[in-house]
Amino acid sequence: MRLVNLNVVFVSLLVLIEVVSVCNGRVLSPAFYRRSCPQIGRIVRSITWSKVAANPTLAAKLLRLHYHDCFVRGCDASILIDSTSGNNTAEKDAIPNRSIGGYDVIDEIKTKLEEECPDIVSCADIVALAARDAISYQFGRPMWQVLTGRKDGRVSLATEASRDLPSGNANFTNLQQQFAGLGLNIIDLVALSGAHTIGVAHCAVFQRRLNATGKGDADPSLDPEYAQFLRTQCTTPPNPAVAVALDANSSVSFDSHYFVGLRHNKGLLRSDAALLTDPRSARVVKSFQGFRVFMANFGLSMKKMGAIGVKKGARDDGEIRKNCRVVNAAN
């Protein structure tokens, strides 16, 4: 089981070595746009950083956008496609995706890139780069390497998003099986769950944990004081639409406090608490309390997630969308 331990070896995430990632025969590279659109990094970073500077909550939204894209049909920007009236309900309108944000940021980046490099940069690559840059803003430097070369998909179905996205109420067995099906191991599961160190969840998502048996008693895996705090947030007055920080310590700072809170039974979602129910994942949770260990592993897991189901061309129905919200018209 892979675990980057600083006592053994620590590779600085500032050193972005030029390697390639092969996924099902498809090759991604950090230098994919070196000749065709060398300004891509500057453009994506400039727009993303300016947006996050104005609205720090966008970091969590752009990261979640990348997650929810990759877990359904792979990283192909299918989550960006708009539904068509009377014809098809797209991923973005599935219940788990209705609180997703950041689409306007992707649109702005795409518009600028089409001006500079028309028909070159995929929406899927923009999503991956914007997620990295949104998190990296607080550090002032790239925090992991993003490989590029994806094509955009042409299919987006709400039914698949409802079926394939991990549930906040999932137990460990379900989470492990779901991640394993995408080529992600237990370390990836814990590392990627660490994204919950930023962002919020609505009371409707976790309210069952506050009334575990229907008699008003909280889930025993919740710290009692934390459970009482959540009740005050969600039931005074009752409002399932109220949002609560996923990490009680730092909802807009990307750090390792999520894992510290988790070990004190302050994981907001059932899927968070589930990471402590397996001894293997619990050990990883413990090690990730150190930020540098967590960040090194998070970067590796983001690279693996970013290679899920990538499309490379017409043979697998891939294209470069002119408008990220609409598939290109058939020739």
> How large a percentage of the chain has pLDDT more than 70?
89
* Structure token digits, residue 47: 């727009």
Whether 309 maps to a domain, the answer reads no
Based on the fold, state whether residues 227 and 134 are members of the same structural domain. no
**Total domains in the fold of the chain:** 2
Instruction: Look up the CATH number of the domain holding residue 189.
Output: 1.10.420.10
Q: What is the pLDDT of residue 26?
A: 53
Residue 247 labelled as part of a binding site: yes
pTM given for the model: 0.91
Based on the fold, state whether residues 127 and 253 are members of the same structural domain. no
Q: What is the pLDDT of residue 331?
A: 58
Using CA atoms, how far apart are residues 137 and 60, in angstroms rounded to an integer?
12
Q: Does the structure show a pLDDT above 50 at 95?
A: yes
Q: Does the structure show a pLDDT above 50 at 316?
A: yes
Please spell the DSSP secondary structure of 157-175, one letter per residue: -HHHHHHHSPPTT--HHHH
Q: What is the pLDDT of residue 238?
A: 61
- pLDDT band of 2, cuts 50, 70, 90: low
Based on the fold, state whether residues 37 and 158 are members of the same structural domain. yes
Question: Residue 121 in 3-state DSSP?
Answer: coil
Q: Does the structure show a pLDDT above 70 at 18?
A: no
Q: What is the pLDDT of residue 12?
A: 36
Residue 200 labelled as part of a binding site: no
Residue 74 labelled as part of a binding site: yes
Q: Does the structure show a pLDDT above 80 at 65?
A: yes
Average pLDDT over residues 3-10: 50
The DSSP symbol for 202 reads E
Q: What is the pLDDT of residue 13?
A: 34
Residue 316 labelled as part of a binding site: no
Give CA separation, 107 vs 101, 112, 130, 136, 241, in Å.
Answer: 12, 9, 11, 20, 27
Whether 308 maps to a domain, the answer reads no
Residue 196 labelled as part of a binding site: yes
Using CA atoms, how far apart are residues 165 and 204, in angstroms rounded to an integer?
17
Q: What is the pLDDT of residue 93?
A: 95
Based on the fold, state whether residues 49 and 69 are members of the same structural domain. yes
Based on the fold, state whether residues 118 and 200 are members of the same structural domain. no
Q: What is the pLDDT of residue 236?
A: 67
Q: Does the structure show a pLDDT above 80 at 294?
A: yes
Instruction: Look up the CATH number of the domain holding residue 119.
Output: 1.10.520.10
Question: Catalytic site residue 68?
Answer: yes
pLDDT in tens, 104-157: 999 999 999 999 999 999 999 999 999 999 999 999 999 999 999 999 999 999
Whether 299 maps to a domain, the answer reads no
Output the CA torsion sign for 58, 69, 2, 247.
positive
Based on the fold, state whether residues 135 and 174 are members of the same structural domain. no
Please spell the DSSP secondary structure of 271-313, one letter per residue: HHHGGGSSHHHHHHHHHTTSHHHHHHHHHHHHHHHTTTT-B-S
Q: Does the structure show a pLDDT above 50 at 313?
A: yes
Q: What is the pLDDT of residue 310?
A: 92
Q: What is the pLDDT of residue 248?
A: 84
Question: Residue 109 in 3-state DSSP?
Answer: helix
Based on the fold, state whether residues 112 and 223 are members of the same structural domain. no
- pLDDT band of 1, cuts 50, 70, 90: low
Whether 280 maps to a domain, the answer reads yes
Checking phi first, is residue 39 left (phi over 0); if not, alpha (psi -120 to 50) or beta? alpha
Give CA separation, 214 vs 29, 168, 169, 322, 323, in Å.
Answer: 52, 19, 16, 51, 48
Indicate which residue of 66, 68, 202, 257 is catalytic.
Answer: 68
pLDDT in tens, 261-278: 999 999 999 999 999 999
Residue span of the structural domain in which 320 resides: 28-165+314-330
Instruction: Output the average pLDDT for the chain.
Output: 90
Q: What is the pLDDT of residue 270?
A: 95
Residue 69 labelled as part of a binding site: yes
Q: What is the pLDDT of residue 123?
A: 98
Whether 10 maps to a domain, the answer reads no
Whether 96 maps to a domain, the answer reads yes
Residue 237 labelled as part of a binding site: no
Mean pLDDT highest for which of 45-59, 77-91, 198-212, 239-253? 45-59
Whether 204 maps to a domain, the answer reads yes
Q: Which amino acid is located at 228 in the chain?
A: Q
The residues that bridge with 323 in the sheet, in sequence order, are: 326
Based on the fold, state whether residues 194 and 106 are members of the same structural domain. no
Average pLDDT over residues 75-102: 92
Residue from 56, 52, 78, 54 nearest 65 by CA = 78
Based on the fold, state whether residues 282 and 224 are members of the same structural domain. yes
Based on the fold, state whether residues 32 and 160 are members of the same structural domain. yes
Based on the fold, state whether residues 161 and 33 are members of the same structural domain. yes
Whether 325 maps to a domain, the answer reads yes
Cα angle value 156/160/163 (rounded, 5°): 160
Q: Does the structure show a pLDDT above 50 at 19?
A: no
Residue 197 labelled as part of a binding site: yes
- pLDDT band of 280, cuts 50, 70, 90: very high
Q: Does the structure show a pLDDT above 50 at 239?
A: yes
- pLDDT band of 4, cuts 50, 70, 90: low
Average pLDDT over residues 155-168: 95
Based on the fold, state whether residues 114 and 128 are members of the same structural domain. yes
Q: What is the pLDDT of residue 5?
A: 61
Q: Does the structure show a pLDDT above 60 at 72?
A: yes
